[in-house]
Amino acid sequence: MVSATARTGTVVGAVLLSLLAVPAHATPRESTAATGAAVLPKPDLEGLRGDLRTAQRQGAPGAAARIDEHGTVFRTATGIADRTTGRALGNADRFRIGSVTKIFTATVLMQLADEHKLRLDAPVNRYLPGLLPDGRITVRHVLSHRSGLYDYTNDMFARTVPGFEAVRDKVFTYRQLVDRSLRRPRTNTPGAVYAYSNTNFVIAGMLVEKLTGHPVQTAYRDRIIEPLKLRDTFYVHPSTRIPGRHARGYLTPDRAGAPLVDATRQTASWAQSAGAIVSTTRDLNTFLGALLGGRLTSSAQLAQMRRWVPAGTDQAYGLGLRRRDLSCGVSVYGHTGAVQGYYTYAFASKNGGRSLAAFVNTSNNGTVHTTMLGTLESAFCGKRAKAPRGRSAPVERHEDIAAGTAPH
């Protein structure tokens, strides 16, 4: 593959025109009775570049995105990876993926269900005796955010920068995080409604470790990372360093005009199996393509991941997997995520034929977050997604994160 680098920092994959003219049979959209697939609109590549430039103007030091579609690649980046050195950001940079980690954790549990080591509708307490005070909470409730368990990060990051600095170097046990949740009243009856909580995926990590007999790091490596040859994906907890070439992450303080805080170095122990993986745009696209293409679980367990419950406007949630319904009628599947210093967007078409991974190296900036959600429209809806001149989307609440990285 050859590439060219423009002065703006944009990098375009080889044979760019081939991405604009992908054969109809190679671009699955939603299933149809006749062919099993329909045609996705062509990506709006200039629009995607524009989304990244806008995010940079709004306060992100840098932004990058990559589209993969049946062997054809488009990648683009703008801005800087390091505010001290001024090094340009690129798609080869590793970054913290935040709650996109939840898909990895759920995938491992789906594999364990395939191996008859786990039943989705069994109580969590069957596998982790005495952990939860309510024996009605099932594995399915946890993976679909319907457990009613309070999200401990709401208290932990009530104040953005002080909350982060208080945990930057701390190492928590899973039980300590769950106990923080259990000190607060539950938000709902088990199974009642969707209510996002990082507590659920801390419990999911505990289930992985109990049922495999290994740390989640080993489960991710042996079951996903090595089989898919994800050479830039790591679970480094409790180390504070991102190995190799990486983008530094910058946290936006609560006080307007305050300088960005370099949040790159941290244990991410407050997140663990809910949000501590490091990856790249390439590896995330490879992972989602494999998962949605049926290469990581049985079709039955993938169908379980796609049993949707309402989760906000134009959204639904399955088991560790989010569905977003775009303006052009296309639905995409994946997750958004954040950890202090980074926002991540990783989604793919229904069968994984086209995938987009994008990130910015900032967080706690709601305007940037909403702008970056536009990358989904550019990647999957094309130019039909253009909003009328003078109209802008409202700032959207980003809940796939800790409170301290939430937009204002």
The 3-class SS string of 227-253 reads CCCCCCCEECCCCCCCCCCECCCEECC
CA distances from 37 to 3, 27, 28, 151, 199 (A): 31, 8, 5, 39, 37
Residues 259 and 323: their CA atoms lie apart, in Å, by 35
| Active-site residue, selected from the candidate residues 3, 31, 99, 273 | 99
Query: Residue 336 pairs with which residues in a beta bridge?
Result: 345
Residues 76 and 13: their CA atoms lie apart, in Å, by 8
Question: Are residues 144 and 192 in contact, defined by beta-carbon separation less than 8 angstroms?
Answer: no
Residues 48 and 54: their CA atoms lie apart, in Å, by 10
The structure tokens 């001290």 sit at 84
273 belongs to the catalytic site: no
DSSP alpha helices (H): ranges in 21-89?
45-57
Question: Between vectors from CA 275 to CA 252 and to CA 336, what angle results, nearest 5°?
Answer: 70
The count of other CB atoms within 10 Å of the CB of residue 265 is: 14
Active site residues: 99
